[in-house]
Chain A
Amino acid sequence: GAVVSQHPSWVICKSGTSVKIECRSLDFQATTMFWYRQFPKQSLMLMATSNEGSKATYEQGVEKDKFLINHASLTLSTLTVTSAHPEDSSFYICSARKGHGRTEAFFGQGTRLTVV
């Protein structure tokens, strides 16, 4: 299978600061990556689609100015949580697919964000 690496695996930050999370496809190129958020005992919820070389597409209810996504290369997408608040504390995870279409999805290890 393919490898998707996410960093950091956990982070604690103060309210009002920004946190950047990286998602890398290590052995394949991904024109599209997806960012999810998961609250305790809940399903994964799609936040946004990260498109290489163009703007991200956000799901309804997700603030694009708060969750900045950059997909500068075919192997790296970043999610920046700006002006973090305690309610942003959650588990964030990315996924990527090889090729185009509904091929198999590969997930990163996830990032546990705690805002204090």
Chain B
Amino acid sequence: KNEVEQSPQNLTAQEGEFITINCSYSVGISALHWLQQHPGGGIVSLFMLSSGKKKHGRLIATINIQEKHSSLHITASHPRDSAVYICAPVSGGGADGLTFGKGTHLIIQP
């Protein structure tokens, strides 16, 4: 079973701050999802990456497969970034191959 740890669990920051959310896992994987869950519950897939780094707008995700670690960064954070961010490694276990972290609850204050 893949043990997924996210940190921090909760984060409150001021608008404009650089945000980092970390994810570590225990079992080797082929790829990893970063998901964003809005207050209403809907989930958006931000990234799926298997190596190196991906960038989309103000979001950057990095992964080190050997270290079993991934990070999600938000530059120039904005109140609309307030959401729960979930990492979900893709491994062999489970029908869907996903193990979900408990999420990081991010609040960006104006």
Residues of A whose CB lies within 8 Å of any CB of B are 1, 9, 34, 38, 42-44, 46, 49, 57, 59, 91, 93, 95, 102-110, 112
The answer to whether A1 and B102 touch across the interface, beta carbons within 8 angstroms, is no
CA distance A112 to B43 in the complex (A): 13
For chain B, which range describes its interface: under 10, 10 to 19, 20 to 34, or 35 or more residues? Answer: 20 to 34
B67 contacts the other chain (CB 8 A):
no
Q: Which residue of A lies closest to B42 (CB)?
A: A109
Q: Which of A42, A91, A104 contacts B45 (CB 8 A)?
A: A104
Residues of B58-110 contacting chain A, CB below 8 A: 86, 88, 90, 94-98, 100-103
Closest Cβ of chain B to A59, distance in Å, is 7
Is B101 touching A43 in the complex (CB atoms < 8 A)?
Answer: yes
Residue of chain A at shortest CB distance from B84? A41
Task: Report chain B residues within 8 Å CB of A34.
Answer: 95-96
Can you add 12 more A-B contacts, CB < 8 Å, to A34-B96, A110-B42?
A: A43-B100, A43-B103, A44-B100, A46-B95, A91-B41, A95-B96, A102-B97, A105-B88, A105-B96, A105-B98, A110-B40, A112-B41
Q: A91 CA to B88 CA in the complex, in Å?
A: 18
- The residues of B that contact A57 with a CB separation of less than 8 Å are 95
Bound form: Cα–Cα A46–B95 in Å: 9
B11 within 8 A of A: no
On whether the beta carbons of B43 and A110 are closer than 8 Å, the reply is yes
B19 within 8 A of A: no
Please give me the residue from chain A that is nearest to B4 by CB atom: A43
Closest B residue, CB atoms, query A9: B40
What residue in chain A is nearest B29 (Cβ atoms)? Answer: A102
Binary flags per residue of B21-35, CB closer than 8 Å to A gives 1, else 0: 000000000110101
User: Chain A contacts of B94 at CB under 8 A?
Assistant: 46
Whether B45 contacts A1 by the Cβ 8 Å rule is: yes
Of the residues B30, B41, B95, contact of A49 by C-beta under 8 Å: B95
Q: How far is the CA of A44 from the CA of B35 in the complex (A)?
A: 12
B48 part of interface (Cβ distance < 8 Å):
yes
Contact A105 B33 (CB under 8 A): yes
A104 CA to B88 CA, complexed, in Å: 11
